Homo-oligomer: A and B are copies of this chain.
Amino acid sequence: MNYLTLQNQCFSGLFEDEAVAQEFGTAATLGRFLAFEIALTRALAGAGVVDQPTAASAVAQMHTFHPDLAAIARAVPFDGLPVPEFARQLKAHIGVKLAHAVHTGATSQDLIDTAMILAIKELNLLLATRLKQVIATLTELSAAQGGNALMARTRMQAALPITVAERLQTWQLPLSSHLERLQQLRPRLEKMQFGGAVGDRALPTGAGETVARQMAQTLGLHHADKAWHSMRDGVADYASWLSLVTGSLGKMGQDICLMAQQGLDEIRLSGAGSSSAMPHKQNPVQAEMLVSFARYNAVQLGGMHQALVHEQERSGAAWTLEWMILPAMVAVTVRALASADNLLKNVEQIGAPSSAP
C-alpha cells in the first residue's frame, strides 16, 4: 500500500476503503488524542491527583481546543511523533495555571497506542460484520447451487466428483473459525494503553492503577494489568488473525480463478473485467485480487512479528515498523472481505446442475 495504490487514481479504486481511511486519518487521530487527554484529566481527578474544580475547568478548556495541525506536521520529522507538539499546544491552550492537570502521568506512546487501538476496535466491528456477510452469502449460494456437481481436484488433477456444497464448505468453515478467534483475541488486543514515561504508571498517591482503570472504562477498552508499551503480542497476534482472514479468502479466490478457466468452466461470473487488447475476454479480477491480498498480508505478517523484538521500555524502531505495516494489513483485510462478498454475489453458476429427471 503506497503512493501508487492509495494516491494514484489509476489504481486506487482497487485498494481504497473509505472506512479505513477515516479511522486511520488525521482527524480521527487528533480527536482520539483529545479524548485520551480529557479522560486522563477526569481520571486524575477521580484518583485524587488533581482536584475536581481544576479538572473540570481544564476539561472545559479542552473542549474548545483546536490543534494547529501545520505546527504538528512540522514537528513530527524532528520528534518522531506528533504528541510532544500536540501536548505543548494543548497545555498552552489550557493555560499555565491548569496545565498540571493535563497529560500528567502520560507519555506519547500512551496516546498513540490508544488512538491506534480505538481505530482498530471500530474496524473490528466492521470486519466482523463483513465476515458474517460473506458467510451469509456463502450459505445462500450453497442453498441455491450446493447440489450441483463438481469435479474435485487434488494436486491440480481431476480426482472424483463432489457436490458444490463440499467446496463451498471449505470456503466457509474457516471464516466461522475466524469469528471465534476474533472474539477470543479482542480482550488481549483492545486494551487501554496507559503507563507514563517508562511504563510503570508512576503517579503520586499510587494513583496509576486507578487512573488506568478509569480511562479504560471511559474509552471503552479493556484494562491492561501493566502498560503494554513493550509487550506487543496483542498487535502481532491480531496481525496473524488478519492474515488468516485474507488467507482463507485467497484460497477461495484461487479456486474461483481455477474454476473460471476455459476447459474447466466450473463457474460463470458476471461483472468480470475487460481487456484493452482482447474485447472477448472476461477477467476474474476480484478473484485474482483475493490471492494478491492473501499473499500481501502473509508477507506483512512477518514484519509485525519482527517487531515483537521490542527492546527495553520502548523501541522506536520496532514501533515505527508497526505503523508502517499494521494499518495496511487492516485496510487490505477490510477490502478483501468486501471484494469476496461482491465476487460471490456475481456467481451466476457454479458447478454443473444435475440433469432433471
Contact of A152 among B156, B158, B198, B306 (CB under 8 A): B198
User: Does A283 touch B at the CB level, under 8 Å?
Assistant: yes
Chain A contributes a number of interface residues (CB within 8 A of B) equal to 149
* CB-contacts of A180-199 with B (<8 A): 180-181, 184, 188, 196-199
Q: A80-B289, A294-B309, A312-B154 are in contact. Are A160 and B278 (CB under 8 A)?
A: yes
User: Does A6 touch B at the CB level, under 8 Å?
Assistant: yes
Once the chains bind, are B225 and A173 in contact (CB under 8 Å)? Answer: yes
- Nearest chain B CB to A227 CB, angstrom units: 9
A55 contacts which chain B residues (CB < 8 A)? Answer: none
Interface of chain A: mostly helix, strand, loop or mixed: helix
* CB-contacts of A278-302 with B (<8 A): 278, 281-285, 288-289, 291-292, 294-302
- Besides the contacts A11-B81, A160-B202, A231-B248, what 14 more A-B pairs have beta carbons closer than 8 Å? A2-B6, A8-B25, A8-B29, A9-B73, A81-B273, A155-B288, A157-B261, A162-B199, A173-B225, A233-B244, A236-B247, A240-B305, A261-B263, A295-B303
17 contacts between A and B (CB under 8 A): A1-B324, A3-B25, A7-B21, A8-B24, A79-B275, A80-B155, A87-B276, A152-B199, A154-B313, A155-B273, A230-B251, A248-B308, A258-B261, A261-B264, A295-B303, A298-B302, A299-B325
- Nearest chain B CB to A196 CB, angstrom units: 6
User: Does A83 touch B at the CB level, under 8 Å?
Assistant: yes
A202 to B11, CA, bound (A): 28
Question: Looking at A14, A157, A299, A328, which has the most chain B CB atoms within 10 Å of its CB?
Answer: A157
Query: Interface residues, chain A, CB within 8 Å of chain B?
Result: 1-15, 20-21, 24-26, 29-30, 69, 72-74, 76-84, 86-87, 103, 106-108, 111, 151-160, 162-163, 166-167, 169-170, 173-174, 177-178, 180-181, 184, 188, 196-200, 202, 225-226, 229-234, 236-237, 240, 243-244, 247-248, 250-251, 253-255, 257-258, 260-265, 271, 273-278, 281-285, 288-289, 291-292, 294-303, 305-318, 320-321, 323-325, 327-328, 331-332
A72 contacts which chain B residues (CB < 8 A)? Answer: 9-10
